[in-house]
């Protein structure tokens, strides 16, 4: 019966957890990120310092950032591995909420270990305690409940073993995974207990590949083989399941074109004859045209966000849906025929059940022609003259060309995710890492750290807007301190190009979307100098030729390098013509808003119910 504190037991346990799928074993929680305060320094902090186990500690600069880092790490490992995040009580704990929501929405495992107020309550109110007059049972960590897929508060040592097992199960369950929170009252963390030795045995969490029900596959095959204009929508689940080869086999055997969501991008190599590329609001004309006329949508591993369905306007009234998803919750969407199971297993089963069926050559020729037309548009957008200031889409073209096929591009918010979705060309799904479930400004650098830690052999290009940079630049210091090499391309357009454009389209007149002083003049702010002051190497690029040179140097360097490039916020890249539902003021004193409202009402008429029984 080893006698350890709760925190020492926790750390010892975590160092002995493994995940396994397809015979590949890896550490489930190989490292811990954190920031210490009075709520965890004597508990988890002491345990990490004194316990002789393999659980390296990394100091981050913001709690939100470390959750993004953990989520990115999990995404990069196809959810087989994640990082633990330890915080103090109070603001350290609540700083986790945004990252936790992002992880849960993106269905990515992260393990959060916030400190909490005394379980004994003898010292309360402690520094940073909420003090809810209705109940002393409430603490700020309760804010993590709705954004956690498992939440527990360890009020007694005896509660720890069952909570740990439950936490590991949720982290490794593809159906339930997301943020897992174990709130740790600061007195309990330091309390000693005689633990059963079995708690610390090595444990392997087998990540299942649930096979879909035979009858469900047969039902789906009947729907699929009746289709003439099918479209397969590949979501993130295809990538996490390692189903890209199965997807390609299915598409080729049956002549089904494939469009991709943000998380599914790269499921097929960009130059595959059946690859339509990006779908939806951030999609291409090719994918969106095929979607509009599709009589069947086969959604694989997608949650059908509004960006994918163009807020319910993308697919026609006559479209039927077959949804293959590991979660019944997603499979049931749009009233689809449900196939609940692992994407790889499900695609193989559906492939066999559809044997002998294929689309007509004329349909595939249409796909080829639409793709050819979009590619010409994209080619033009990805270029700009060598001595000219690059457009944002030319920045993307330059980064894409500077990056090797296995290098990774990371982005999350602003106008770049849409341009990237449409214009980035990759052959490896792991080379495209755009967080677009939560589209959280500030994810970029922190996420880049997680990507690089999970795949140190790859170069990581973080594309970050000036707005997103200002939200969480501090994680650049973490990258420098931890020796995690990033190439950060800081695309500075002096404000919010994305929201500026959106603001104009809804009649809000770009209010508050440009970084200027009260008089409307440019600010004396130098973000490049800011990055250099954090210890990153800085290269400024004022022309496309300089940008190409800067990217090559940054890639070759061993140090984190920021390439600072200025762009024009009024320049927009080519779009795919899909609608997005952002409700416009129903009454307004301005003509701009009234005109926008008329456009909005016309737009929403195209929304379909998609209630036809699957
Ligand atoms: C944390 C957070 N706050 C607000 C938003 C809403 N939002 C989306 S994009 C954006 C502006 C992003 O600015 P920048 O990074 O400079 O990119 P740009 O739009 O200029 O391309 C804002 C405010 C968000 N996505 N995340
Ligand atoms: Mg900007």
What pLDDT, on the 0 to 100 scale, is given for residue 222?
98
State the chain's mean pLDDT as an integer.
97
Task: Answer yes or no: is the C-beta of 527 below 6 A from any ligand 1 atom.
Answer: no
Task: Answer yes or no: is the C-beta of 465 below 6 A from any ligand 1 atom.
Answer: yes
- With CA atoms as reference, report the closest residue to 583 among 500, 505, 513, 501: 505
What pLDDT, on the 0 to 100 scale, is given for residue 277?
97
Task: Answer yes or no: is the C-beta of 345 below 6 A from any ligand 1 atom.
Answer: no
Q: How far apart are CA 102 and CA 109, in angstroms?
A: 10
Question: For the residues 126-135, what does the mean pLDDT come to?
Answer: 95
Q: How remote is the CA of residue 497 from the centroid of ligand 1, in Å?
A: 8
| High-pLDDT (> 90) share of the chain, % | 99
What pLDDT, on the 0 to 100 scale, is given for residue 184?
98
8-state DSSP, 45: I
If one counts every other C-beta atom within 10 angstroms of the C-beta of residue 81, the result is 23
Distance of CA 199 to the CA centre of its chain: 33
Q: Longest Cα pair distance anywhere in the chain, in angstroms?
A: 77
Is residue 232 within 8 Å of 251, Cβ to Cβ?
yes
| Cα separations in angstroms, 199 against 45, 112, 559 | 21, 20, 42
Q: How remote is the CA of residue 536 from the centroid of ligand 2, in Å?
A: 20
pLDDT digits (tens, 9 = 90+) for 496-555: 999 999 999 999 999 999 999 999 999 999 999 999 999 999 999 999 999 999 999 999
Task: Answer yes or no: is the C-beta of 43 below 6 A from any ligand 1 atom.
Answer: no
The yes-or-no verdict on residue 614 having pLDDT over 90 is: no
Q: Beta strand pairing status for 320-325 and 296-300?
A: parallel
Q: Who contacts 435 (Cβ-Cβ below 8 Å, separation ≥6)?
A: 68, 71, 72, 102, 106, 410, 411, 412, 443, 447
Is residue 42 within 8 Å of 48, Cβ to Cβ?
no
Ligand nearest to the CA of 512: 1
Distance of CA 503 to the CA centre of its chain: 25
Question: For the residues 453-478, what does the mean pLDDT come to?
Answer: 98
Angle at which helix 497-505 crosses helix 591-604, to 10 degrees, equals: 90
Cis peptide before 258 (omega within 30 of 0): no
What pLDDT, on the 0 to 100 scale, is given for residue 538?
98
Question: For the residues 344-357, what does the mean pLDDT come to?
Answer: 98
What pLDDT, on the 0 to 100 scale, is given for residue 414?
98
For a substitution probing ligand 1, which of 106, 468, 504, 513 has the most ligand atoms within 8 Å of its CB? 468
What pLDDT, on the 0 to 100 scale, is given for residue 204?
98
What pLDDT, on the 0 to 100 scale, is given for residue 1?
80
Q: Is 556 left (phi over 0), alpha (psi -120 to 50) or beta?
A: alpha
Burial 13-37 (b: 16+ CB within 10 A, else e): bbbbbbbebeeeeebbbbbbbbbbb
Q: How far apart are CA 185 and CA 123, in angstroms?
A: 12
The yes-or-no verdict on residue 411 having pLDDT over 90 is: yes
In the three-class reduction of DSSP (H, G, I as helix; E, B as strand; rest coil), residue 496 is classed as coil
What pLDDT, on the 0 to 100 scale, is given for residue 232?
98
Residue pointed to by tokens 């701009």: 592
Atom of ligand 1 nearest to the CA of 468: 15
- Name the band, by pLDDT with cuts 50, 70 and 90, for residue 422: very high
Q: How far apart are CA 94 and CA 508, in angstroms?
A: 32
pLDDT digits (tens, 9 = 90+) for 301-346: 999 999 999 999 999 999 999 999 999 999 999 999 999 999 999 9
pLDDT digits (tens, 9 = 90+) for 175-196: 999 999 999 999 999 999 999 9
| Cα separations in angstroms, 69 against 167, 372, 549 | 19, 38, 29
Sign of the torsion angle spanned by Cα atoms 195, 198, 204, 206 = negative
Task: Answer yes or no: is the C-beta of 490 below 6 A from any ligand 1 atom.
Answer: no
Task: Answer yes or no: is the C-beta of 417 below 6 A from any ligand 1 atom.
Answer: no
Q: How remote is the CA of residue 474 from the centroid of ligand 2, in Å?
A: 18
Q: How remote is the CA of residue 10 from the centroid of ligand 2, in Å?
A: 42
Task: Answer yes or no: is the C-beta of 67 below 6 A from any ligand 1 atom.
Answer: no
Atom of ligand 1 nearest to the CA of 415: 21
pTM of the model: 0.98
Q: How far apart are CA 378 and CA 302, in angstroms?
A: 25
Sign of the torsion angle spanned by Cα atoms 482, 483, 484, 489 = positive
Question: For the residues 46-75, what does the mean pLDDT come to?
Answer: 98
- Name the band, by pLDDT with cuts 50, 70 and 90, for residue 377: very high
Angle at which helix 443-454 crosses helix 475-482, to 10 degrees, equals: 20
Phi/psi at 281 (nearest 5 deg)? -60, -40
- Name the band, by pLDDT with cuts 50, 70 and 90, for residue 442: very high
Task: Answer yes or no: is the C-beta of 472 below 6 A from any ligand 1 atom.
Answer: no
């Amino acid at each position: 019966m080893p006698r350890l504190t709760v925190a020492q037991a926790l750390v010892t346990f975590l160092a002995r957890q493994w995940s396994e799928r397809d015979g590949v074993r890896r550490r489930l929680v190989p490292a811990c990120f954190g920031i210490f305060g009075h709520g965890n320094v004597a508990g988890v902090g002491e345990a990490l310092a004194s316990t002789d186990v393999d659980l390296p500690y990394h100091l981050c600069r913001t709690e939100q950032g470390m959750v993004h880092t953990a989520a990115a790490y999990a995404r990069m490992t196809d959810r087989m591995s994640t990082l633990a995040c330890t915080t103090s009580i109070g603001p350290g704990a609540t700083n986790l909420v945004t990252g936790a929501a992002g992880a849960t929405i993106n269905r990515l495992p992260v393990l959060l270990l916030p400190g909490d107020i005394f379980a004994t309550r003898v010292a309360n109110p402690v520094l940073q305690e909420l003090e809810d007059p209705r109940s002393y049972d409430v603490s700020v960590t309760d804010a993590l409940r709705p954004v956690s897929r498992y939440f527990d508060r360890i009020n007694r040592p005896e509660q720890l073993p069952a909570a740990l097992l439950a936490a590991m199960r949720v982290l490794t369950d593809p159906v339930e995974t997301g943020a897992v929170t174990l709130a740790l009252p600061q007195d309990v963390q330091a309390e000693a207990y005689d633990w059963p030795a079995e708690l610390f045995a090595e444990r392997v969490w087998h990540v299942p590949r649930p096979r879909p029900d035979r009858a469900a596959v047969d039902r789906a095959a009947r729907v699929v083989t009746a289709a003439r204009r099918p479209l397969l929508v590949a979501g993130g689940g295809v990538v996490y399941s390692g189903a890209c080869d199965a997807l390609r086999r299915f598409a080729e055997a049956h002549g089904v074109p494939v469009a991709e969501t943000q998380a599914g991008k790269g499921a097929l190599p960009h130059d595959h004859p059946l690859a339509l590329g990006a779908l939806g609001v951030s999609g291409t004309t090719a994918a969106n045209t095929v979607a509009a006329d599709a009589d069947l949508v086969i959604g694989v591993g997608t949650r059908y966000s509004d960006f994918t369905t163009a807020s319910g306007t993308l697919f026609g009234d006559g479209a039927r849906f077959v949804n293959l998803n590991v979660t019944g919750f997603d499979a049931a969407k749009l009233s689809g025929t449900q196939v609940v199971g692992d994407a790889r297993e499900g695609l193989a089963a559906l492939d066999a059940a559809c044997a002998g069926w294929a689309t007509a050559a004329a349909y595939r020729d249409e796909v080829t022609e639409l793709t050819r037309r979009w590619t010409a548009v994209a080619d033009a957008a990805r270029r700009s003259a060598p001595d000219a200031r690059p457009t944002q889409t030319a920045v993307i073209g330059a980064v894409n060309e500077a990056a090797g096929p296995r290098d990774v591009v990371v982005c999350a918010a602003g106008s770049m995710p849409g341009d990237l979705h449409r214009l980035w060309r990759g052959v490896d799904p792991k080379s495209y890492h755009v967080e677009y479930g939560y589209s959280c400004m500030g994810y970029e650098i922190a996420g880049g750290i997680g990507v690089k830690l999970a795949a140190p052999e790859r170069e990581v290009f973080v594309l970050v807007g000036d707005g997103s940079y200002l939200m969480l630049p501090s994680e650049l210091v973490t990258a420098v301190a931890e020796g995690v090499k990033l190439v950060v391309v800081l695309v500075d357009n002096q404000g919010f190009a994305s929201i500026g454009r959106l603001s104009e389209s809804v009649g809000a007149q770009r209010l508050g979307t440009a970084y200027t002083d009260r008089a409307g003049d440019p600010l004396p702010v130098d973000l490049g100098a800011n990055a250099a002051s954090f210890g990153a190497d800085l290269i400024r690029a004022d022309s496309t030729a300089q940008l190409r040179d800067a990217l090559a140097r940054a890639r070759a360097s061993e140090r984190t390098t920021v390439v600072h490039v200025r762009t024009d916020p009024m320049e927009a890249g080519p779009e795919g013509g899909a609608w997005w539902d952002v409700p416009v003021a129903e009454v307004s004193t301005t003509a701009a808003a009234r005109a926008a409202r008329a456009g909005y009402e016309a737009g929403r008429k195209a929304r379909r119910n998609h209630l036809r029984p699957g």
